[in-house]
Structure 1
Amino acid sequence: MPQASVRKLLVVNQYYAPDLASTGQLAAEICGYLAKRGVEAHVVTAQPCYTASSPEAPLYEAVNGVHVHRVPMGRLRGRERMVVRVAGYLRFLWGAWRMARKLAKSERPDVVLTFHNPPFVGLIGAYLAHKYGARFVYAPYDIHPDILVATRWTFLPRPIIWLWERLNRWILRSAETVVVLGEGMRRTLVEGKGVPLDKVKVIPTWGRPELKPMSHKQPIRGELGISEGELLLLYSGNMGIMHPLDPILDAAALLRGEPVRFLFVGDGAKRQHLVKRVEKEGLDQVSFLPFQPEDRFIQLVAASDACLVALEPGLERLAVPSRAYTFLSAGRPLITIMAPEADIARLVTEQGCGWNVTTGEELAELIRQLLSERQELVRRGERARAVYEERFQRERVLEQYARIILAQG
């Protein structure tokens, strides 16, 4: 276990707990872990703004030994409207630049860590690290603008893409260490961005929240009108541009009359489209809930028979869906909807803790098979928990971050 040669850490990221964004939740646990190791951590973040209903939080507070400094965001909350999202990005970047610059000058951090929210936040980290002689660690959990280009979610003029790419390459060159979530992302940075192989470290996420296997018989099934004999397949998380969720509805349409229910929990750019399609096609076995309090989310995961994780084909080199690790920690088998070579798809097939499909037809066929072979769900769920304990437990992963942050430059 490395000793804390690093005394001070400055972190800049738009999201931080209690905000719901996974990056912010992970950042909070990393900082809290380092604070316990004697590091004085200062975080520059925004007031909670990931969803329109994000909770209030003070402009400054000390949480778990971490100094949290927040940029006021006013009414700029939520991500569904692009104009609000972009305005929020700009407001945070300006406020974070001013706040982080003052903190860097007064605190003289040994290490500056930035994630990828919002785009270009790495510029702040790279500049301040260079100016004040700190080590710069960059953790892009998604690779942009590549994702926007690949999904064609919004039109970006070529000069904007060119500039964005050049700025990203400068950030990557400036970083002493770049942390990514999977081998696919590592290959993209090394082969496509020219980042030296030894500079890029792969550290997976852990379950957030990290769960333990619980009884499948949860009262919440009754609340949702799900009978004991029905299979419950859960999708929980962001319903965004990176997630191919229509195949789930395709499967639901093919399984009319079968004892299977599909539950979507969360929010995102695709949610409204999915709700409208369910209403139009009369898919009565599909239902939606907003993001849930943690205690109810835990009950929903426990009540499920399997959990769905989706990633658009082609994005396996740009992102890794982190929610998968929470489901693994709970001992629930995964049904992944993504390219077979994706990190999570390879994990579930090679380790026998789930299945991978690529179309709604394949998903429907798999579910029909599981309806008659339900013990296989139990077996693969047990394997899911074993794999999680072997490779992804919170303490194991956090210690990998500690080795990077606390290493002497």
Structure 2
Amino acid sequence: MTQVINQWMNKIKSLFFQAQRIQNQTVNAHQSNFKVSIFTQFFPPDYAATGQLIQELATHLAQQGMDIKIFTGQPGYAFDQEQAPAIERFTRLLIKRSRITKLSSGRIIGKALSGVLFCLRSSLHLLKSWHRGDVLMLTTAPPFLPAIGYLANLCFKRNYVCLIYDLYPDITTALSIFPNHHLLVKIWTAINHRVWQRAQGIIVLSPTMKQRLVAQAPQLADKISVIHNWADPDWIKPIPKEENWFATQYGMKDKFTVLYSGNLGRCHDAETIIETIKLLQHEPIQFVFIGGGAKKAICIETVANLGLQNCIFLPYQHKTDLPYSLTACDLSLVSIAPGFEGLVVPSKLYGILAAGRPVAAICESHSYLRELLEVAGCGVAFSNNDSLALAEFIRFLALNPEKAMAMGKAGRTYLESHFTPEIIAQKYLQVLKGVIWSDDKDDYQVDWSKKAALNSLR
């Protein structure tokens, strides 16, 4: 009897391991054939942060064995390049660009028209490739782009993931472009809910952004993934100011330098920064602004009118200079204007952490930045309009450089364990793999007959 039982046990074990091997082979086969099509209006040579991040993400996903296709537009924010190749091919990465170019990218109406034209081009591109089995990942650049994923799923059963950078139409109401009760806002919100409900996955960039979405549609909670942006610590490394050519070239070596790098737009708090500059105008502390944005022009005008001498304004720098510009300071600023928490996310934070510089964040009391800075030990958050406290913190670091160095080191350590491209790419991979194994298995043409060994156990 014991011998018979042992024979059956060995047979069951053999069938179990055989079934496990078949299952692993099926998973590996699907992953190796897994294709993702990413739609985004901005992509290098544009210097827009969204495009730069998508390029890095696509590269890392391709390194994981995925075939990545990117459909994007012609440069709208490039330094000296108005046209880019219509098609570019790399290992497991294909980039296709539409013929749409920018239309007055500095104005709201021009941006909106460019976005609409890009969406039309994207729709035509999808119609030509409707039969493919790619999973679609649609960014909110432009804001209404995810709607074509909804249509593709409705008409062709194409599965899609929404990658939300900024939350519209909420931003338009926060900017007082439209009131909350405006018909366009109501229609846009209703379309968003349909798009999100039908999506196989939703990715947002901060916990507070997820809270915003769940407050609107609680049923979406389980399909929303919070995945932060990132920076590459192997590319951006701490460089002492005395060894940094950028700091030497722009006179940033001999004074305590506070840096604001990136877009200073309507969703950012420039007012608190200006008040802080005024408070520190007679001290050996200077402020450097690198980048652009609607509020940068206001800052330049205000500084000129007040005759302030402690500010330097520089344009966007080439990407190759970023490791030097981010490390040419002693402290970096991040800001979100009142009412915009969870609507936008400052991607500049992650480059600051990689650079090993402390962070001063200007934000609301419920901002996710407060907890992040506290846990990482890399900086301090200040309430909007609290320029007195911010000025005092800057004075403290100027007098205690070892404290600034310790905060910067802690921030880089935290980034290396939480926000590297490799770590973040794995999180995207998990979301995309979750799409491939959704409940509707027929959509993925899985050959379930290969699992015959599993049936023999029943």
Shared fold, TM over 0.5: yes
Partner of 1:67: 94
**Offset of residue 179 of structure 1:** 0.5
Structure 2 residue corresponding to 1:365, chosen from 361, 383, 392 = 392
After the TM superposition, which of the residue ranges 369-378 and 178-187 deviates more from structure 2? 369-378
Give the counterpart of 2:122 among 69, 87, 96: 96
1:267 alignment partner, SS class: coil
Q: For 2:36 and 2:165, locate their aligned partners in 1 and report how far apart those are by CA, in whole Å.
A: 19
- Deviation at residue 390 of structure 1 after TM alignment: 1.6
CA distance in 1: counterparts of 2:101 and 2:422, whole angstroms: 36
Spell out the pairing of 1:1-400 with structure 2 (5 A cutoff): 3=28, 4=31, 6-50=33-77, 55-74=82-101, 76=103, 78=105, 80-105=106-131, 108-152=132-176, 158-207=182-231, 211-217=236-242, 218-228=244-254, 230-358=255-383, 359-400=386-427
After TM superposition, give the deviation of residue 387 of structure 1 in Å.
0.8
4+ runs of 1 displaced by more than 3 Å?
A: 50-55, 153-157
Note if contact 1:54-1:77 (Cα within 8 Å) is conserved in structure 2: no
User: Per the alignment, do residues 85 and 54 of structure 1 end up closer, same or farther by CA in structure 2, a change over 3 Å counting?
Assistant: farther
The 1-side partners of 2:83 and 2:104 are apart by 11
Deviation at 1:345, TM superposition (A): 2.4
Q: Does the CA-based 8 Å contact 1:5-1:406 persist in structure 2?
A: no
Query: TM-score, with normalisation over the residues of structure 1?
Result: 0.93
Contact 1:6 1:406 in 2 (8 A): no
Q: CA deviation at 1:92?
A: 1.0
Ranges in structure 2 where 5+ consecutive residues have no aligned partner: 1-23, 439-458
CA-CA distance at 1:175 after TM superposition: 0.7
Structure 1 155/281 Cα, relative in aligned 2: closer, same or farther at 3 Å? farther
The answer (yes or no) to whether the contact 2:75–2:101 under 8 Å persists in 1 is no
Partners of 2:252 and 2:329 within 8 A in 1 = no
Question: Per-residue deviation at 1:350?
Answer: 3.2
Task: Give the Cα–Cα distance (whole angstroms) in 1 for the partners of residues 154 and 35 of structure 2.
Answer: 16
The 3 A distance-change label for structure 1 pair 41 and 227 is: closer
Letter in 2 for 1:306: L
Query: Does 43-52 or 236-245 show the bigger shift?
Result: 43-52
Cα deviation per residue 1:240-285 (whole Å; 9 max; x = unaligned)? 1111012111111111121111111111122221111111111211
What is the CA distance between 1:154 and its match in structure 2?
A: 6.3
8 Å contact kept, 1:208–1:323: no
Q: Where does the alignment leave 5 or more consecutive residues of structure 1 unmatched?
A: none
Q: Is the CA contact 2:257–2:286 (under 8 Å) kept in the aligned structure 1?
A: yes
> Which SS does the other structure have where 1:321 is aligned?
coil
Q: CA deviation at 1:152?
A: 2.2
What is the aligned-residue RMSD (CA, Å)? 2.1
Per mean C-alpha deviation after superposition, the further-off stretch among 2-11 and 82-91 is 2-11
Query: Conserved in 2, the CA contact under 8 Å of 1:114 and 1:121?
Result: yes
Which deviates further from its counterpart, 58-67 or 388-397? 58-67
Change (3 A) 1:34 1:104: farther
Superimposed CA distance per residue, residues 197-243 of structure 1 (whole angstroms, 9 cap, x where no aligned partner):
21111111101685122223223223212342x11111111111111
- Which whole-Å CA distance do the structure 2 matches of 1:338 and 1:54 have between them? 36
SS in 2 for 1:378: helix
Asked which structure has the greater CA Rg, the reply is 2
Give how far 1:84 is off: 1.6
Does the CA-based 8 Å contact 1:172-1:195 persist in structure 2? no
